[in-house]
Structure 1
Amino acid sequence: MRANANVLADLYNRRPFSPLKGLMTSEAVALPRAALVGNPSDGYYGKTIAFTFRDFSARVTVDEVTGLPLPETPLLGAALEVFNSYCARMGSEVASDLAMLFESDIPYKLGLGGSSAIVIACLRALAGHSGYDLSPEVMADLALAAERDVLGIPAGLQDRVVQSIEGLVYMDFDRTLIEGRGFGEYVVLDPSELPLIYVAYMPDAAEGSEVTHSELRGRFEAGDPKVMSAIAEWKDLTDQVRELLDSGKGAAIGPCLDRNFAIRRELGLAGAGTIAMAEAARALGASANSAGSGGAIVGTYDGPEMFSQLVEALRQLGASVIAPSI
Structure 2
Amino acid sequence: MIIDSRAFARAGLLGNPSDGYFGKTISLSIKNFGAHILLYQSPELVIEPQEADANAFRNVYHLRDTVSLIGYNGGIPIIKAAIKKFCDYCDENSIKLSNKNFTIRYHSSIPRQVGLAGSSAIIIATLKALMRFYNIDIPVHLLPNIALQAETQEMGINAGLQDRVIQCYEGCVHMDFNKVQMDEHGYGIYTPIDPNLLPKLYIAYKTDLGKVSGKVLNEIRSKYDKGDEHVISTLKTIANLADEGAEAIKNQDYNLLGQLINANFDNRCKIMSISDSNMELVNTARNCGASASFTGSGGAIIGIYEDDEMLKKLVYSLKKINARVIKPYMI
TM-score normalised by L of structure 2: 0.88
Q: Which letter maps to 1:48?
A: T
Residue 10 (structure 1) aligns with = none
Task: Give the counterpart of 1:78 among 76, 81, 91.
Answer: 81
RMSD: 1.4
What is the CA distance between 1:94 and its match in structure 2? 3.7
Find the residue that maps to 2:142 and give its secondary structure.
helix
Q: Residues 108 and 114 of structure 1 are in contact (CA less than 8 Å); yes or no, is this contact kept in structure 2? A: yes
Q: Which letter maps to 1:64?
A: Q
Residue 266 (structure 1) aligns with = 270
Residue 174 (structure 1) aligns with = 178
Q: Which letter maps to 2:83?
A: L
Find the residue that maps to 1:267 and give its secondary structure.
coil
Residue 289 (structure 1) aligns with = 293
The aligned runs of 1:62-211 (5 Å cut-off) are 62-69=39-46, 73-94=76-97, 97-211=101-215
Q: Residues 224 and 231 of structure 2 are in contact (CA less than 8 Å); yes or no, is this contact kept in structure 1? A: yes
Q: Residues 206 and 294 of structure 1 are in contact (CA less than 8 Å); yes or no, is this contact kept in structure 2? A: no
Q: Which letter maps to 2:302?
A: V
What is the CA distance between 1:69 and its match in structure 2? 4.2
Counterpart Cα distance in 1 of 2:119 and 2:201: 23
Q: Residues 220 and 272 of structure 2 are in contact (CA less than 8 Å); yes or no, is this contact kept in structure 1? A: no
Residue 29 (structure 2) aligns with = 52
Find the residue that maps to 2:208 and give its secondary structure.
helix
TM-score normalised by L of structure 1: 0.90
Q: Residues 202 and 273 of structure 1 are in contact (CA less than 8 Å); yes or no, is this contact kept in structure 2? A: no
Counterpart Cα distance in 2 of 1:272 and 1:52: 28
Task: Give the counterpart of 1:41 among 12, 18, 24.
Answer: 18
What is the CA distance between 1:269 and its match in structure 2? 4.1
Find the residue that maps to 2:33 and give its secondary structure.
coil
Residue 241 (structure 1) aligns with = 245
Q: Residues 30 and 57 of structure 1 are in contact (CA less than 8 Å); yes or no, is this contact kept in structure 2? A: yes
1:252-291 CA-partner distances (Å, limit 9, x unpaired)? 3011111110111122243322211110111111000011
What is the CA distance between 1:169 and its match in structure 2? 0.4
The aligned runs of 1:295-314 (5 Å cut-off) are 295-314=299-318
Find the residue that maps to 1:53 and give its secondary structure.
strand
Aligned residues: 303
Q: Residues 166 and 172 of structure 2 are in contact (CA less than 8 Å); yes or no, is this contact kept in structure 1? A: yes
Moved more, 246-255 or 174-183: 246-255
Gaps of 5+ in 2: 50-75
What is the CA distance between 1:237 and its match in structure 2? 1.0
Q: Residues 212 and 269 of structure 1 are in contact (CA less than 8 Å); yes or no, is this contact kept in structure 2? A: no
Counterpart Cα distance in 2 of 1:179 and 1:71: 39
Find the residue that maps to 2:31 and give its secondary structure.
coil
Counterpart Cα distance in 1 of 2:46 and 2:165: 30
Q: Residues 106 and 112 of structure 1 are in contact (CA less than 8 Å); yes or no, is this contact kept in structure 2? A: yes
Distance change (3 Å), C-alpha of 1:71 and 1:43: farther
Q: Residues 114 and 209 of structure 2 are in contact (CA less than 8 Å); yes or no, is this contact kept in structure 1? A: yes
Q: Residues 47 and 105 of structure 2 are in contact (CA less than 8 Å); yes or no, is this contact kept in structure 1? A: no
Counterpart Cα distance in 1 of 2:188 and 2:222: 23
Gaps of 5+ in 1: 1-23
Q: Residues 42 and 158 of structure 1 are in contact (CA less than 8 Å); yes or no, is this contact kept in structure 2? A: yes
Counterpart Cα distance in 2 of 1:269 and 1:190: 34
What is the CA distance between 1:201 and its match in structure 2? 0.4
Counterpart Cα distance in 2 of 1:92 and 1:266: 47
1:211-233 CA-partner distances (Å, limit 9, x unpaired)? 22211111111111111111110
1:104-157 CA-partner distances (Å, limit 9, x unpaired)? 100011100110000000000000101122222111010001111111111000
